[in-house]
């Protein structure tokens, strides 16, 4: 049942993220990814709120919680999880671990983005838009 709820939440979250991107697209005059930024900030707020509020209150069945947290928010953004985990590490006093986590997440994410872009350029060179 968890898989069904996570899948349903994932569908909703990904559609919401897509819709946010469509709604903010006209505002992207300089190429700034406003839709993604907003999705990440909103997701951080929702997951932080969800983690500290809804989970502690135990108002919903665990399957519903998995659908909302992992499914909906997880598909809306993964940055929210990164942010909340960093806050939890800091609150628990694991400052060095939080610092390492942030550096590895950001540097690793940037590196993997660059590496994927680099490989894509090489693999699709001369094949239309991907090579430009």
Residues ≥6 apart with Cβ < 8 Å to 36:
21
21 carries a ligand binding annotation: no
In angstroms, what CA-CA distances link 31 with 28, 39, 120, 131? 5, 16, 20, 19
CB 86 within 8 A of CB 98: yes
Query: To the nearest 10°, the Cα dihedral for 41, 102, 89, 86?
Result: 10
CB 77 within 8 A of CB 17: yes
86 carries a ligand binding annotation: no
In angstroms, what CA-CA distances link 49 with 6, 13, 15? 19, 16, 21
Annotated binding site for Na(+): 74, 77
Annotated binding site: 74, 77
């Amino acid at each position: 049942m968890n898989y069904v709820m996570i899948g349903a939440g994932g569908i909703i979250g990904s559609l919401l993220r897509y819709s946010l991107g469509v709604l903010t697209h006209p505002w992207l005059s300089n190429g700034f990814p406003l839709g993604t930024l907003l999705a990440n900030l909103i997701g951080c707020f929702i997951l932080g709120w969800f983690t500290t509020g809804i989970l502690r209150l135990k108002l919903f069945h665990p399957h519903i919680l998995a659908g909302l947290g992992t499914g909906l928010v997880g598909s809306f953004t993964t940055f929210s999880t990164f942010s909340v985990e960093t806050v939890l590490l800091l609150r628990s006093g694991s400052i060095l671990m939080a610092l390492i986590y942030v550096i590895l997440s950001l540097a690793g994410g940037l590196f993997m983005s660059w590496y994927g872009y680099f490989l894509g350029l090489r693999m699709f060179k001369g094949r239309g838009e991907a090579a430009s």
